[in-house]
Structure 1
Amino acid sequence: MNQETCAPGGVALGDTAFGYTLSLIGGKYKMLILYALAENKVLRHNELKRHLGGIAFKTLSVVLKELEADALIIRKEYPQVPPKVEYSLSSKGTSLIPVLHTLCEWGERHQPA
């Protein structure tokens, strides 16, 4: 795909396929969450929080809800006390993992020593 097909002239970048993709994975934590789920398959809220480091509990909850609303992750709640909730990638979320791997490879090539 070339730049013209992804971002045609005369169209606001936010209204293109590129803009759509960024709306799904943009932000400080979304790609990190997707990558953590790809590496670990299934994680609970607190496990994700540990993987991400300094993210606030509420921020993580909001981002997880956004990823779920965009059908990138699956939230599975178990009917037990205390409540147990697990997160995993959906097929749509899994389809983004090669993109994240490409970003990782780019970073490895260009990161200052």
Structure 2
Amino acid sequence: ALSTRVLEQLVAGVHDPQIRKILLRDRPPTLEKALALAREEEVLQAACEQPLRSLFGVTAVQPHSFRDASTQSPWQPGSCGTSPRRRSWRRPQTRRPQRPQARRTIDAIDASPEPIDDVINTAEE
């Protein structure tokens, strides 16, 4: 009963919707297996994002949500799915007049055509 409730809290606290969906789909029987599955998916996502960036030659722009799973601090009990801030709830903001938003620019894109063999060989390495 308690372990079921802890598993439910873990799934509810997972920020990444893909990992949450996998936990709901696979329904691991123990907390340890759920954590192992979530960590494995996090590493796979990080590994899959990296080749896409290098394939298109974008070197200066990274999405805010990208995290290298190999550099994250080890899991600590009670920290899964929590925010580092104590008060994570914020009052809804009032409507502000529209003003131009600052846009991030892409500093470097290599758009030169590459032979398809080079792309395949790079992906296999």
- Tell me if TM exceeds 0.5: no
The structure whose residues are more often strand, as a share, is: 1
Q: Which has the larger radius of gyration?
A: 2
Q: If the length of structure 2 is used for normalisation, what is the TM-score?
A: 0.22
The structure whose residues are more often helix, as a share, is: 1
> Of the two structures, which has the highest relative contact order with CA contacts closer than 8 Å and spacing of 6 or more?
2
Q: If the length of structure 1 is used for normalisation, what is the TM-score?
A: 0.24
